[in-house]
Each structure stands twice: as structure tokens, then as C-alpha cells.
A and B are shown apart, each in its own frame.
Chain A
Amino acid sequence: MAEPILSVRGLETFFRADEGTVRAVDGASFDLHPGQTLGIVGESGCGKSVTARSILRIVERPGRVEGGEVLLRRADGSVVDVVKLPADGREIREIRGGDVGYVFQEPMSSLSSYHTIGNQLVEAVRLHSSATKAEARARAIELLRMVGIPRPEQRVDSYSFELSGGLRQRVMIALALAAEPRVLIADEPTTALDVTTQAQILDLIRRIQRERNLAVILITHDMGVIAEMADTVAVMYLGKVVETGPVDAIFHAPRHPYTQSLLRSIPSVLAEPLSRLATISGSIPHPFARPPGCPFHPRCDRHIRGTCEAGAPPVVELAPGHEARCFLYADQAGGAR
């Protein structure tokens, strides 16, 4: 496959508090290729959003990116390690919005209610280009039309609270695309929306991706969305990527016990009536009390006593592009790292 546009290696983002350190992202690695969609999936609190925010270095205090590499190939072909850039420097600000657009989960509160959506769009356009006010406004209207907002000439002067949730999320997408980035991070873009609107927003993302050959990182806890949208999948658990692979392999031949349990817990219309939905036993451990060894072992149904709690499991390549971080496959670890 071609060179990845974004390559995350051993990313570590910690939240240091008086009570202890939360290792929100604890050595996550994955690659993103142009025109492809990477789905990051996992339960709430597993570090999906923090991973995505770490890529743009917009993690809220007291969170800090403390290790690893985020290698971004910029438009001119140069590769830059985002982790090494100063946090409010010129280059990282060019990358934010310019190279990587970000769509947030909460369309309700992610837009300022004191400024028109046009004001925010024009700002985003002008930050990354030399457009005049009038040009930027024309571009803003064009962006709104592109994301399917009716009567964009009028809507450009409205405020976010005058729009429905679906329209607001469309505005968020327009805002993320204002400076024509080559990577789009969509952080649970449909969680706050109703089902019909969800489908429309996903269609929109897919259409724009095709038109612009965008690389998309889609963060969700919804396996259905992953199945529909993703080319490759990274499954996260407690800050670690436990399994990555092509979407078909993940759905049809999941290898990590956590991925297997996640898939079992999806409700199916084919299920026996009145049968119980499978759940993952236990709950996510307290952030200050991470289990030793493999973090999933207390909830794992294929727990190997004496091994899983003793040390960190190896990353095993099971097939080209399909890796799992588990002791079950340690003996196949020909290509283990």
C-alpha cells in the first residue's frame, strides 16, 4: 500500500492529577492512508477522543502528550512529527484546520452562540488562505451548499441555535473542511443525532471523502457505523490499540477476545426472540487502578492464568495488516514486535 498520510506510533497522553496519573492513551499505534477511512472503536473512556485530540495537540489540561510520534505527511511532501512541535506555534496552527479538519461530537455546544456561522466559517477560511472578506464569504456560502444546507445565502448569517442538530453537524463539517484539509477526524459525529440524521451525515462524509480523496478517522462506539464506513479498524481498550485490521477481518474473523465480545454484544434482528443480549462481564476499571499485564484480563473469558496478569502481551501479526495484542497468539509470533 502507498505511504500513509498519518502514522501514529506509540502515542502516550497522560493526565497527571494529585490523585495519580491517568494513562488515557498508552502506546497507541495506527496508520491512515489517503482516501481511506480508519474506524477507531471502543467503549466510553477507552481513549478514542483523547487519541484524536492528541493528533492536533488540543488535549484539555491537565492532559499532555508525553511520548510517541504522530507523523503527518504535509501537502508539500515533508513529514513532520506533530508531538515535537511547540503547542501554540505557527506550524501546529497551520496543521490544525489546514492539514487536519476536526468534527466534534457535540454540534450543540461546539459552535459559538454569539457569532454567526458565517463569521466562524469566514474566520476558518481566512486563517489558512489570503482570501479577502468578500471571497471568504463567498467560499463560506459554497461550503454550506456543499454540505447540503438549504438556502446557504441566508443561513450564512444565522446563529447556530437557529439550526437543527443535523444542520449544525453539517455546519461543523463545513467548518472542518473550510481550509481544504487532507485528513478529516470525525469524533463521534453522529452520537448526538437521531437515526435518520445519522445516516444522512454519514452519507455526506462518504460523499465528500470520495470527491476530495480525504483520509478519514472516524471515532465511534457504534459497530454498525464502523461496518458501514470503515476500511480499516482499530479497536481500543484502556488507551491501547488491542486489534487492528481490515474491516472484513475484524467483523468476520476477530481475534482479540475484547473485539469478539464487542461484536457479540451487538443486538441482532436475527437473534432468538427474548434471548439475552451478550454483555462484556465487569466494567471498565477505575482509571487510577489499571490492572497489571494485559489490561483486559479481569474481564476476559479466555484469560490464561499466570500469563495475562504477569506482563504486557505482544503485538502479533496474524495476517498482513491484521494485528492483535494478545498472549493467545504468542506462539504464532513469527512477526511479533
Chain B
Amino acid sequence: MVTYILQRLGLALVTIWAISVVSFVIIQLPPGDFVDTYITNLASSGSAVGAAEAQALREQYGLDKPIWVQYAKWISQISRGDFGMSMEWGRPVLEVIGDRLWMTIVISLAAILITWGIALPIGIYSAVRQYSIADYIFTFVGFVGLAVPNFLLALIIMYFGFKLFDLNIGGLFSAEYQLAAWSWGKAWDMAKHLPLPATILALAGTAQLIRIMRANLLDELRRPYVTTARARGLAEWRVIMKYPVRAALNPFASTIGYLLPFVVSGSIVVSLVLSLPTVGPLLLRSLIAQDMFLAGSIVLLLGILTVIGTFISDLILMWIDPRIRAGMHG
């Protein structure tokens, strides 16, 4: 078992390294660099940048060196915990990302929990009462949910929230806490703001998850072990909850790792609409500005979180699936 965990850990490190290379390369791919964009932006506002100044900027950021030198410099800095300077903001990358990473994690986790809380019971109900009226209604609502873009939903909810309840649901904080330092008051303020945006983000995955849970469970309900449990005299709902639901939940453990990046990348537009202080909008902006250290760091951090998530889901699978544990002995 220890060998298995160490093996997984080693693989995780290799994967993180590969992600760092790929994210660096991808960020370099678009033609031009930050200085080009910077010059264009300044030119459009009327001021010009001289060739000497541009050269000085490039040297300052090391953009005149070959790409592998740039990568080596970047990665060695990162291994020392220094993610470099954001070119656009003129501040260290870590400072720019700051709380946004934690906000993202908190809001994503909340969204995931809400998704599961809504989708799993409905999926179970839909499968057990297949072709009932409620199943058809959930299926219909689910397909509508799949088809409606999330940002549209966010806009609609914002509109009605404002119109009917005089509620401004944008952002995660009230005005007075926006720039304040962390305190219990600020945390409570955030907790009050969290449910609505988290729910809107959650609704994206809900419809899909209902379909997956329903299909998984329908498969399992036909298995002989369900009839065996019934023939033992177990009550119907206990049969279903203990055996097929247990088996149908198993695949979800393996998707935990992908949930975080899925929520982050899927929620950029929603985060913009709701002006949430998450990394999504920051990533979008840094990519447009070709702020490579910032963008690279965000992509790398998301990659690392994914790898950690996958590692965690491996551990969970090992814990809940006896067949995997058995495979490790023999």
C-alpha cells in the first residue's frame, strides 16, 4: 500500500513538471510578447515607446533570451517560491493572485457540494422511479439546464434579484469589507454572499450530474446482487441505498480531481458577470495582455491543484473500492 502511494506521488511530481513545461510553451505560442502588446496599448492612447525603451523592458523581463533559458529561469524561481513579477500590474504574481486563489477554491468547493446535494438525490429518485412523471419533469428541466448558458442564467437571476428583492448579488463582499483585512466580520460577510453565486455555478454541472447518476444507477439496479439483497428480506429503500447507490457513487470519486479546473475554466464568464474575485477573470485578462508570468503561474497553480485533486481521488478510491485495494496485494 505504501509503495502504491509513493508511486502515485512520484507520478504526480512528474505530471506537475510536465504541466509547467506545457503551460510555459502554450503561453509563448501566440505571436509577439508582452512588450509588443504594451507598445500597442500605449500607441493607441497616443504615446509612443522608443525602440531603446522596448529593448530595456525586454531585457528586464528576460524576453530577449531563448525560450528554454526563460523557462529554466522561471522554473528555478518558482521552486524557490518566487513566481516572478506580473508585467501588467508591476507587482509580484503571488500578490496579484493573492486571495483570489483561496476564493476560487472556496467558491468551487461550495459549488461542487451544492451540485452533489441537488443532483445525487434527484438522480437516485429518477432512476428508482424511472419513467414516472417526476422523472420526466426532472429530465426535461435537466435538458433545459444543459442547454441554457450559465452566464445567461446568472444575468437572469441577477436581474430578478435586483428587480424583485432589491438585491445586488454581484461580488462576494459588501462594499465596506471590499478592501478590509480579514476578520470574522469579513468572513461572515463572505458566507452571506457565497450561496447565490455558488448556486449559479453549481447549476451548470447539476443537469449533467443528474443524467450521469441516473444512468449509473439504472445500470446497477439491474444487477443480480440487488435481487439477492431483496431476497434476503431487506426493505426496498435500504436495498437501494446500501448496494446499487454505493456502486453507482464509486465513479464520482475518480472525478474529484477534475472538478476544480472544470469549475474554474467553466466559470470565467459567470465570474465576470457576477464580478466574483476568483482567478478566472484574472487569467482571461492576463492572457489578453500576454502577461506571461501571471498567466503561466495561474495555469501552473490550477494544474498543481488538479494533480493534488487526482491524488486525493486516488486515495479515496483506494479507501472505498475494495477491488483496488485487493489489486495492490496481488
Binding site for B on A (CB under 8 A): 53, 56, 58, 60, 88, 93-98, 102, 104-106, 109-116, 120, 123-124, 127-128, 159, 161-162, 172, 175-176, 178-179
Contacts and interface: CB of A to CB of B under 8 A. Distances in A.
11 contacts: A88-B236, A96-B231, A104-B224, A104-B231, A110-B224, A114-B321, A120-B232, A161-B322, A162-B326, A172-B228, A175-B228
A110 B228 contact: yes
A109 B222 CA distance: 11
Interface in B203-239: 222-225, 227-236
Interface of B: 222-225, 227-236, 242-243, 246-247, 250, 320-323, 326
Contact of A127 (B222, B234, B326): B234
Given A93-B233, A97-B233, A106-B224, A112 B326 contact: no
A205 to B, nearest CB: 17
Contacts, number: 81
A114 B247 contact: yes
A123 B227 contact: no
Given A93-B233, A123-B234, A179-B233, A113 B228 contact: no
A36 to B, nearest CB: 22
Interface of B is mostly: helix
Contacts of A58: 227, 230-231
B127 to A, nearest CB: 12
A159 B228 contact: no
Contact of A112 (B222, B231, B236, B247): B247
Most chain B CB neighbours (cut-off 10 Å) among A88, A98, A109, A113: A113
A128 to B, nearest CB: 6
Contacts of A105: 224
A91 to B, nearest CB: 10
A60 B250 CA distance: 24
A173 to B, nearest CB: 12
A127 B231 CA distance: 12
Nearest to B244: A112
B74 to A, nearest CB: 46
Given A113-B322, A113-B323, A162-B326, A104 B233 contact: no
A111 B225 contact: yes
A159 B326 contact: yes
A98 B233 contact: yes
A116 B230 CA distance: 17
A115 B245 CA distance: 13
A89 to B, nearest CB: 10
A146 B240 CA distance: 30
A179 B231 CA distance: 12
B167 to A, nearest CB: 45
B323 to A, nearest CB: 6
